[in-house]
Each structure stands twice: as structure tokens, then as C-alpha cells.
Chain A
Amino acid sequence: MNVNKNSYTIGFASIMVIIVAALLAYASILLTPYQDRNIELEKKQNILQSVGIEVERDNSELPYSKYIKEEIVLNDNGNILDGSAFDIDLGDELKKDIKNQKLPLYISMLEDSSKYFIIPLRGKGLWGPIWGYIALKEDINTVFGAVFAHEKETPGLGAEINQTFFQEPFKDQRIFNEDNEFVSITVKKGGAPEGSIHAVDAISGGTITSDGVTDMIKERVSRYLPYLEKNKPVVNDTLVSVNLISKVDE
């Protein structure tokens, strides 16, 4: 058999492509349900992590239904729409214009009846998407916890954003400054200044991923400002006015 004839070459290539395509398509159909299940359980695990509840991925179902009380969907004016936050794919939403985006928000109530607002995050890392969840305390200013994940950041460098040592410093950071302006939280290359409440340390060698986290928090949380303003506890407002008065006195 002459394997160098053009007809043979074309025939070989066609058959190979068909076999490979069929094989991969079949494998994908067969495995997708398992993969989706893993992703769903991990999402629940991540959401729980942001309010400080550590569970195994396979056991995240029960605690999730226990502690996550509301899964609401907002528009960019902060009004509540129909639907469940859990069904929203942020990756798809981010492709839309902000006016048409649906903003998912989770509200958690823990055993001590403390209430947390969990904002899902999604942005760009170096190689692919990064995402996470940031939980705000009832004062809608202080961070209670943050968790980050990534698809394919560089192992040992950018990929470290999913590690505790990176996520831990986000606790007790504030997203508003003293003048009640939204300043977000910056991941600072070279290290955040001592005692900083709006910045945390970046990862050495993972600058682009670290910057991605900064941009992601700023962009995502700012979309929720209309809703957050509406839900700010009154106590905070008085504090602000006290601040203003003392400034006038000076």
C-alpha cells in the first residue's frame, strides 16, 4: 500500500479527525455531569469559606442550605429582580453591558444571628479568569472574609491567591474610607503599609494576578454600591455626621 498517495493522505486525515472528534465528544458528554457537580459543590464550599465556615467539598450541600439564607439578584440600580443568585453565571454576565447585568448577592446568617453580605467576584488573572467571594459585615464596610480561586494561574506564584496566607489579611479591611467614599481594597506590590485598612500584601512573582484581584474587587463591589447604600445601617450615618461636625469645629 502506498501511504504517500494524496488520496490516502486525505482519507487518513479525514478518518482520524472523525474518530478523534467522536471520541472527545463522547468523553465530554459522559463526564460533564460529574464535572458540573464538582463545580457546583465547590461554589457552595467557596461561598461558605467567605463567611469562615470550612467544609469538605463533598459535604458542602447541607451547611450551605443552613447558613446561606438568601440568594438574591440585583440590577445596577440596586433593585431586586426575580431569580436565584446561584443560577447566575458571572462569566456570562460580565460580557454584557452593565445596564443589562444581573448582579448576584448572597446573604448569610450564622448561628450567632450575625448577618453577612456575600458579593461574588470575577475578573482577569494572567492566564485566565479568577473569581472569588467577599463577605461584608452588617456595617457594609468591614470585610468579614474573602476567598479567591483561579482557573490556570501560575502554580507557586499567581495560583497562591487561593491560599489562606493571601486571603487572611483581607479580614477587617474596609471598603469605604473615613469620608464614606468607596476606596475598595488594593493588593499592593512590595507589601501593604503597616496597619493599613484598605490594602493587603501582594504575592511576590505574581504581580499580574495580584493586580487582577485589585481590579476585580474594585469593579465588582462598585456595582453593588446602590444596593449597599440603601442597606447601610443608620448607626453608620450618624457616625459620619459626627465626623463632619468635628471637622467643622477645627
Chain B
Amino acid sequence: MSREALFSKKNKLLLTDPLDDNNPITVQVLGICSALAITVQLEAAVVMALSVLFVLSVANVIVSLMRNLIPSRIRIIVQLVVIATLVILVDEVLKAFVYDVSKELTVFVGLIITNCIIMGRLVAFASANPPWESFLDGLGNSFGYGWILVAVAFIRELLGSGTLFGYPVLENLGIYEHGYENNGMMILPPMALVTVGIIIWIQRMRNNKLIESN
């Protein structure tokens, strides 16, 4: 077997496919719970996306390295242990050295462990593919997850609180003087679902591959 280049066409696809055609949130509809829960503020969404990026790519590599050693009957347990260990380590390190970020994370740490995207990628990809490909797959899926999170948080924070990263954008633009008011409903979880729905709608409108034939 000839060794293929690190960024061969196939490998690049691992990175780009989850961004659109095979997006974990909008196409596979995984990881929806965290997408609804933590997209009220942009900052929290970014921190969550970065945490998932770290956990998913490292867990993918570890599981991939062990893929021929893991007994198949306890493979899910082994994968969960890998994820949980990584998440706890991340949490401990954040608490010790970047305390403010760890306070930002709060309940998400638990949400990372239960994030279906991570479990899904470990089962579907890392347990059957070499480490480098698994790493790229982890990165790709985290980006796919992350950009949806950031997009939803951008819309919800801007319309719900009139701020971005806590900075009062709308107030500084003087929009309130014309009688505009923040839409409090955007802060509530149902509007996250509606926002994700609108993103899926737009995506399916312009991406031919996703249009289902009747």
C-alpha cells in the first residue's frame, strides 16, 4: 500500500465535509442539546466549541491508536472512559490556570461528555481508521459543530440582548433611540431550535446534495 499524502484529496474531504454536506448538527442532527443550551451568548458558544474541538480530536486519536486492542464487547465503555478522562483533565487544568474560562464553562463540561457528536465520531470513524485521518475527522466535525454554534449564538445574542461578546453593539449604534427593543424570546431555548431550523432551511435551499427527491 502506498502511503498517501497528509493532505490528500480524501483527507481534505474529512475536514471540509462536516462543514456543510455532512454537518453534525444540521444534517446528522447530533449535539442538538448543547446547541440549544449554550447559544445565548457568543462567548460561551466559542468556549464550548473550543472545548469540543480539543476533546473530540484528542479522543479520536487515542481511540484510533487503540482500535485494534479494544475488546469489542466493552468498546462503548472504553470510549466513554476516554472522553470522560479528557473532559475531567481539561476541567482541572482550566480551573488551575485559566480560572475565568473555567467559570465560563460551568455546566458544559458535563455536556461535552454526553455530546452525541463525540461518541458518534468515535464509534463511526476513529474505531476503524488510522490516527491521522481520525484527527482530521475530529477537527472537521468540531469545526462543523462550532460554526453552527457560533452562528446561532451570534443571532441570539444580537437580537436577544443587543450585545456581541457582551459588548453593547446596538446601543452604540443608537438603534434603541428609534424605538427598537430587544426580543426577550430569543434568550429562551425554543428560539435556538427555530434559529437552527432556519439555518437548516437555508442550507438545504442552496446545497443540491441535501435536496431529497420524492
Contacts and interface: CB of A to CB of B under 8 A. Distances in A.
Interaction A to B: yes
Interface of A: 3-4, 8-9, 12-13, 16-17, 20, 23-24, 27-28, 31, 34-35, 38, 42, 57, 127, 150-157, 159, 204-205
Contacts of A152: 106-107
A23 B82 CA distance: 12
B88 A24 contact: yes
Interface residues of B, number: 31
A204 B182 CA distance: 13
Given A3-B72, A4-B71, A38-B95, 8 more contacts: A3-B71, A9-B71, A13-B71, A13-B78, A24-B85, A27-B93, A34-B96, A155-B40
A4 B107 contact: no
A153 B105 CA distance: 10
Interface string B94-124: 0111010000101110000000000000000
A243 B69 CA distance: 82
B42 to A, nearest CB: 10
B188 interface: yes
A112 B175 CA distance: 42
A3 B69 contact: yes
Nearest to B157: A156
Determine the main DSSP class of A at the interface with B.
Answer: helix
A23 B88 CA distance: 11
Given A4-B71, A4-B72, A154 B92 contact: no
Contact of B96 (A31, A127, A150, A159): A31
Contact of B187 (A3, A23, A34, A204): A204
Contacts of A9: 71, 73-74
A205 B97 contact: no
Nearest to B156: A156
Nearest to B48: A155
B44 interface: yes
Given A27-B89, A34-B96, A204-B184, A155 B104 contact: yes
